[in-house]
Amino acid sequence: MFMRVRTRVAPSPTGAPHIGTAYIALFNRAFAKHHGGQFILRIEDTDQVRSTPESETAIFEALRWLGLDWDEGPDIGGSCGPYRQSERTALYREHVDRLVTSGHAYRCFCTSERLAALRLTQEANQERIGYDGHCAGLDAGDAAQRVAAGEAHVIRLRTPQEGVCQIADRFRGTIEIAWETVDDQILVKADGFPTYHLANVVDDHLMEITHVIRGEEWISSAPKHLLLYEAFGWEPPVLAHLPLLRNPDKSKLSKRKNPTSILYYRQAGFLPKALINYLGLMAYRPEGDLEMFDFDTMVASFDLDRVHLGGPIFDIQKLRAFNGHYIRELEDVDLLATLKGWLLQDASLLELVRMAQPRLEQLADFVPMTAYLFADQIPLDPADIDQAGKDSGKAAAWIQFVQWEFARLGDWDADGVRDCFNRVAEREGVKFKLLLGVFFRVFSGRAVALPLFEALVWLGRDMTLRRLHYAQEALREAGLGLSGKALKRLEKWYQERYLREGGEDG
């Protein structure tokens, strides 16, 4: 019988939409489309603490911008909905109950303190880190009673003590992992929400996903997933683990070392076509060793056998070259339209006009006055930035604090931005004006510019964070930056001074 191909991408809505999500989505969509199947978007918001609706919206926006549209998803529905895991909790509850009844899972009452202590001794004795099965042998009746009494607990997967799990990886063939190295994974957290492992398996089955193409970071938890399929009596999908995108230093792509937000790439003026083309070159080469291609071309000959397993380094330099190629390929009128759709649209220009108007003496002042807001990287004078902080080294530290503050700021608006600066000024005991002096230079390259908070709101969080990063880089290159040691110290300081005494600032 012909099986309809269904793939999915399942990002969690925490933070900015990640370039790695686009990479995984691209391969899943290309594979599904090649086989005339469906590509599904599922939001994995089972982490109640970190998931935000803003982030979810940003994911929609980012993937749509790239043209990676989905056939079924939270915003457009579909026959296997809902597509947001937080709306499927009853489903998970129901399924995990079956597991507890059948003995494939058990309730665990261990406190996080006990778990922490356990880990400590395991580390000290150089033993394998993992749950010791303390609650695995609990009598089911007793456990039910404790639950009824309201005792906090989680539900764990009961993994085999011996034997070997064979994972059929589409790219690597059979991978063998000994069961003794697989932990009794938590399936349901104390808050009643499922963990990724449970929700993922239940959803992939219920949504009739046939091929799970995901990052290779998941290989080691594949045994747990396979065990779940078996426990439910379901046939597992085909598993295909793509190599991870890397930083230039070969580590897993991270925002500390690279811009990872898709929205950054949009604002920095990359074209979706270029980004898709470049991403399609990561770990992959289409038929005929083709280098420049669009999504449809990729789909036409898409073949998982052409995936290369070495972890590709995401090289912005090459992306830029590709982007330049696509810009040149545009008709002039189309480029103009693209430019207008980018940041030269009335709505965004109007905001700049409002900021500039009180400061304008000639119309000719407008473009020079606002130019720095359209750039990605602007020329910076690290010595000037450092001096603006009065004591050398202060500027770099303040920038770091502001980076952390911005990263955890909720709504990106002028008040929120101001509060961040206020907090830093207060905690560091520095005059607000002096502190801002540093940041005018960081963002505009000058001591005087448009009103800072409004300008940053206009710039957007991703670009703002990027600018902060550029400033740190410039300072470091000039020998005025933070050493690794200093950074560690600041981190501790930040945790103590900023995170622990929340709420006392207005």
User: Could you give the maximum distance between any two Cα atoms of the chain, in Å?
Assistant: 82
For RNA (CB under 7 A), the number of binding residues is 68
Output the smallest distance, CB 285 to RNA, in A: 4
Closer Cβ to RNA, 66 or 452, answer by number = 66
Name residues contacting RNA, limited to 280-309 (CB under 7 A). Answer: 281-285, 289, 291, 306, 308-309
Closer Cβ to RNA, 220 or 392, answer by number = 220
Stretch that binds RNA, among 171-179, 225-233, 353-361, 371-379 (CB under 7 A): 171-179
Indicate the angle between helix axes 272-279 and 19-34, nearest 10 degrees.
Answer: 80
User: With left for phi above 0 and alpha for psi between -120 and 50, is residue 29 left, alpha or beta?
Assistant: alpha
* Strand partners of residue 476: none
Q: Per CB under 7 A, does 430 bind RNA?
A: no
Q: Per CB under 7 A, does 313 bind RNA?
A: yes
139 Cβ neighbours under 8 A, 6+ residues apart: none
Stretch that binds RNA, among 141-149, 187-195, 425-433, 496-504 (CB under 7 A): 187-195
Is 431 among the residues known to form the active site? no
Closer Cβ to RNA, 291 or 411, answer by number = 291
Q: Per CB under 7 A, does 189 bind RNA?
A: yes
- What residue has token string 């090459």? 318
Of 250, 256, 433, 500, the one binding RNA by CB under 7 A: 250
Tell me the per-residue interface mask from 207 to 226 with RNA, x by CB under 7 A, - otherwise.
---------xxxxxx-----
Which residue among the candidates 33, 224, 255, 273 is catalytic per the annotation?
255
Closer Cβ to RNA, 68 or 475, answer by number = 68
Cα–Cα distance measured from residue 246 to residue 244, given in angstroms and rounded to the nearest whole number: 6
Cα–Cα distance measured from residue 291 to residue 96, given in angstroms and rounded to the nearest whole number: 47
Look up residue 329 and give its DSSP letter.
H
Closer Cβ to RNA, 218 or 366, answer by number = 218
| Strand ranges, E, within 233-381 | 238-242
What SS3 class is residue 194?
Answer: strand
Name residues contacting RNA, limited to 144-163 (CB under 7 A). Answer: 152, 154
Torsion of the alpha carbons at 344, 350, 355 and 358, rounded to the nearest 10: 120
Peptide bond into 82 cis (omega under 30): yes
Output the smallest distance, CB 402 to RNA, in A: 24
Name residues contacting RNA, limited to 5-24 (CB under 7 A). Answer: 10-12, 14
Output the smallest distance, CB 286 to RNA, in A: 9
Q: Per CB under 7 A, does 119 bind RNA?
A: yes
Residue 397 in contact with residue 481, Cβ under 8 Å?
A: no
Q: Per CB under 7 A, does 126 bind RNA?
A: yes
Q: Per CB under 7 A, does 190 bind RNA?
A: yes
DSSP-H helix ranges across 175-313:
196-206, 222-232, 262-267, 272-279, 295-300
Closer Cβ to RNA, 47 or 413, answer by number = 47
**Tokens matching residue 378:** 């602007």
Q: What is the residue type of 302? A: F
Residue 279 in contact with residue 18, Cβ under 8 Å?
A: no
Please identify every residue annotated as catalytic: 255
Q: Which residues bind RNA (CB under 7 A)?
A: 10-12, 14, 44, 46-47, 50, 110-112, 115, 119, 126, 128-130, 152, 154, 171-172, 175-178, 181, 183, 186, 189-191, 193, 195-196, 216-221, 243-244, 246, 249-252, 281-285, 289, 291, 306, 308-313, 315, 317-318, 321, 324-325, 328
